[in-house]
Amino acid sequence: MPGLRERPTRAGRPPPRSESTYRAMPAGPSIPSASSGGHAPRRSLVTGGAGFIGSHLVEVLLARGDEVTVIDDLSTGRRSNLPGMGHGVDGLRFIEADLRQALGALGPGERFDEVYHLAAAVGVRLVVDEPIRCIETNVEGTAALLRFALDHGPRAGAGAATLIASSSEVYGKSEKSPFAEEDDVVYGPTTRSRWSYAASKAIDEYLALAYHAKHALPAVVVRFFNTVGPRQVGSYGMVLPNFVASAIEGKPLKVYGDGRQTRCFCDVRDVAEALPRLLAEPRCRGRVFNLGSDRSISIRALAELVLEVLGKDAAIEHLAYEQAYSSGFEDLRKREPDLRRIRDAIGFAPRRNLEQTIRDLAAQMAGERAASPGAPGGGVKRGTHP
Ligand SMILES: NC(=O)c1ccc[n+]([C@@H]2O[C@H](COP(=O)([O-])OP(=O)(O)OC[C@H]3O[C@@H](n4cnc5c(N)ncnc54)[C@H](O)[C@@H]3O)[C@@H](O)[C@H]2O)c1
């Protein structure tokens, strides 16, 4: 692929730049595949695989023996998130490029059993600052991905099982709680660019559902609620890594607004394990699923919990939203998923509690800081609670 940086896998790919043996993670729960079986390794494509959620998914797929291709432009992801960083990994091919460019350059012989589309312009702050990039990446990228998945399935005439990452933001500012998949969505005016992320993800959903209806593409849409855990960075306004970083540094934890707004946080490892299960279950295709935790906590209580779990006594400061954003920023008081559908479909229930997630995130951040002082993962910048 001229012009693209590629790290190859074991199966007859172009000559490697660097390679080493991947030592599989300890086996997690048995994760089925959407492919029809046989002994050839499953071929999985993960867009955004160097990102926070994507990198945990890549670990799950490698551990079950897949050949994994990752496409990521590293705009918000990090190469160091991928296993075997700097050495090459058996079974993992990394293509560092914009999604649309990379898909166009992959040849017609490239076939995938499963496609996980996680690449997106992410984070409310990024969306407010760069709305054009956000809309184009999310809408054009997903349109290109779905066309690709239809033509590059496991065999001619069969599209790849495809998972499209959407967001709880799609519900907009509806005051109904908890949010169920068939609920109406409610957005603010188009003059508030904050809603462009929700609208772009809603278009992605419409596209995926239409590919399923019109072309029988085995597509599943997943609305992630607040996902947290190791490798999440605070630079794009995510609340938990910002709180943990502040606690580690002994700086005040900054809570926007009155702190009584509530969210439900789910560990990224629980989320990553659920994704292949959704693709493997034929009844999930052509449907939308909430994925997250339904344990609600206020942002003020989250700040207190971080200090308690990490044994720190830093201050908690309240800031007006206007200090983080332009005036008129609209935040939600409450965001909670109705998990009945995903529970019925794959028996999903979060396994890790928030205390454990905070400890693991803090340990990962502290390890990175020790290895390279000034590493990303916690600089408290202007941003929002996701
Ligand atoms: N983390 C959450 O709580 C959450 C909540 C709702 C939805 N989501 C969705 O989950 C997915 C993953 O999010 P995340 O939290 O892991 O964020 P992330 O920023 O860590 O991951 C996104 C990845 O996509 C890559 N990317 C962005 N634009 C690209 C492009 N044009 N071409 C190739 N790669 C590109 C980034 O470099 C990054 O690695 C996204 O689709 C996001 O909208 C996440």
List the domain boundaries for the chain.
5-228+265-294+332-351
Q: Percent of the chain scored above 90 by pLDDT?
A: 73
Q: Which of 118, 171, 227 to mutate to test the pocket of ligand 1 (most atoms within 8 A of CB)?
A: 118
Long-range contacts of 86-90 (CB under 8 A, 24+ apart): 86/18, 87/18, 87/19, 87/20, 88/7, 88/8, 88/16, 88/17, 88/18, 88/19, 88/20, 89/19, 89/20, 89/21, 89/22, 89/62, 90/9, 90/10, 90/19, 90/20, 90/21, 90/22
Tens-place pLDDT, residues 358-383? 999 999 999 988 887 655 443 333 33
Query: Which residues have CB under 8 Å from 326's CB, separation 6+?
Result: 128
Give the percent of the chain with pLDDT over 70: 83
Rounded CA separation 11/40 (Å): 10
Among residues 197, 211, 256, 325, the one annotated as catalytic is 197
- The predicted model gives 295-322 an average pLDDT of 94
Distance (Å, whole) CA 140 – CA 148: 12
For residue 20, what are the CA distances in angstroms to 11, 25, 81, 84, 86?
Answer: 14, 15, 16, 8, 9
From CA 299, how far away is CA 7, in angstroms rounded?
41
CA–centroid distance, residue 77 to ligand 1 (Å): 8
pLDDT computed for residue 27 by the predictor: 32
The finding on whether 122 has its CB within 6 A of some atom of ligand 1 is: yes
**Of 53, 205, 289, which is best to mutate to test ligand 1, by the most ligand atoms within 8 angstroms of its C-beta?**
53
Residue 101 identity? Q
Is 167 a pocket residue for ligand 1 (Cβ < 6 Å)?
Answer: yes
**What is the Å distance from ligand 1's center to 53 Cα?**
7
User: 4 CB under 6 A from ligand 1?
Assistant: no
Q: Residue holding tokens 């390794």?
A: 41
pLDDT level of residue 28 (50, 70, 90 thresholds): very low
Question: What is the distance between the alpha carbons of residues 51 and 272, in angstroms, rounded to a whole number?
Answer: 12
Kindly give the distance from the C-alpha atom of residue 363 to the centroid of ligand 1, in angstroms, as a whole number: 23
Ligand 1 close to Cβ of residue 76 (< 6 A): yes
At 257, the amino acid letter reads G
The question of whether 197 is a catalytic residue gets the answer: yes
The residues with which 319 forms a beta bridge, in sequence order, are: 256
pLDDT at 163: 99
CA of 163 to the centre of ligand 1 (A): 13
Q: Select the highest-mean-pLDDT range: 29-43, 77-91, 291-305.
A: 291-305
Q: Return the pLDDT at 15.
A: 30
Ligand 1 atom 7 nearest Cα: 167
Which pLDDT tens digit goes with each residue over 131-176?
999 999 999 999 999 999 999 999 988 999 999 999 999 999 999 9
- The number of residues making up the chain comes to 386
Burial of 280: CB neighbours in 10 Å, binned 0-12, 13-18, 19+: middle
Ligand 1: nearest atom to the Cα of 141: 31
Residue 149 CA to residue 97 CA, distance in Å, equals 18
Q: Which of 57, 58, 76 to mutate to test the pocket of ligand 1 (most atoms within 8 A of CB)?
A: 76
Of 22-36, 195-209, 230-244, 302-316, the one with minimum mean pLDDT is 22-36
Confirm or reject: Cβ of 77 under 6 Å from ligand 1. yes
Give CA–CA dist 139/196, Å, rounded: 11
Tell me the whole-structure pTM to 2 decimals: 0.89
Query: Measuring CA to CA, how many Å separate 192 from each of 111, 122, 163, 207, 361?
Result: 41, 17, 29, 24, 33
Residue with tokens 């994704």: 275
Architecture of domain 5-228+265-294+332-351: 3-Layer(aba) Sandwich (3.40)
65: Cα separation from own chain's centroid = 21
For residue 386, the model assigns a pLDDT of 40
